[in-house]
Amino acid sequence: MIASLIRWMTGAQARWLGVDPIDSNGLIPQRIYFANHQSNLDAPVIWAALPTALRRRTRPVAARDYWEGNVLRRLLSRRVFHAVLIERQKVTKSNNPLSAMEAAIELGDSLIIFPEGGRLGDDEGNIGEFKPGLFHLARKHPTVQLVPVYLENLNRILPKGEFFPAPVLAAVTFGAPLKLEEGEDKSDFLNRAKLAIEKIGEE
C-alpha cells in the first residue's frame, strides 16, 4: 500500500535498460542500487519502483538524523522501508556506515545507496563526486550486482526545505550492472560508476 501511494504521489515510472528486474533463472538477485541524489524522496521512490519480490529484500541506506527526526519518519524507516540507518555527523569506528551496510549484505539483503553522500548535485541534474563507500562494497562483495539508477525530477517534486510534494512526474531508470574490474583503482571505478548514471540520463 505504501509503495502504491508513493508511485501515485510522484507518478514515478520505472524503466529497466540493460537489466531485468529478476534474473532469467527466476532467482531474486542481490544488488546494490546506486543512484544520483536529488531529494528526501529518492530512496522511497526507488524502493517503490521495484517489483514486490525485490522490494521485500531491498533496504535503503539513509541518514539516521533525518529518518529519526520525527515519529512518522521513524515509523516508516523501521517498519516499512527497513532502512539501514547510518550516522553522518558523528562517525566513529564503532558506528562506521560501511559496517552497517556490510552486515545487511551478509544477511542477503540488497541495498539502495547514494554515493554522493548527500544532495551535492545541482538543479540542472549534474551529479557530485562519489565518496569511496561504493568502491569498498564492490571490492568486498564481488558477487553482488551493482546497478546504476538515474532519478529524474525528484528535486522538483520535493525541493530541499519543502514538506509537500509538487505535481511533477518523476522517472526511475535502472541501467546495466557494472563490476569492479581486476586491478581497477578507486578513482577510476568511482568515475566509471558516476559516468554510468550520467549516460542513463542522456538516453
In angstroms, the CA 101 to CA 26 distance is 25
In a domain, 116, yes or no: yes
DSSP state of 94: G
* Alpha-carbon gap, residue 131 to 111, rounded angstroms: 16
**Distance of alpha carbon 112 from alpha carbon 108, whole angstroms:** 14
Give domain status of residue 89, yes or no. yes
Per the domain annotation, does 158 fall within a domain?
yes
Decide: 157 and 10 in contact? Cβ < 8 Å.
Answer: yes
| Integer Cα distance of 197 and 59 in angstroms | 20
Residue at 120 is within a domain: yes
Decide: helix, strand or coil at residue 46.
helix
pLDDT at site 167: 45
**Domain annotation covers residue 23:** no
Residue 55, φ and ψ in degrees, nearest 5: -60, -35
Domain boundaries, position 111: 2-18+28-202
CATH number at residue 153: 3.40.1130.10
Place of cell 568511482: 190
Cα distance between residue 167 and residue 161, in whole Å: 17
For the chain, how many structural domains are there in total? 1
Q: What is the pLDDT along the chain (203 residues), one digit of tens a residue?
A: 788 888 877 777 899 998 999 877 778 899 999 999 888 788 999 999 999 999 999 999 999 888 888 999 999 999 999 999 998 777 777 778 899 999 999 999 999 999 998 765 555 668 989 999 999 999 999 999 999 999 987 655 554 554 445 445 678 999 999 999 999 999 999 999 999 999 998 87
Grid coordinates given for 7: 508511485
Residue type, 199: K
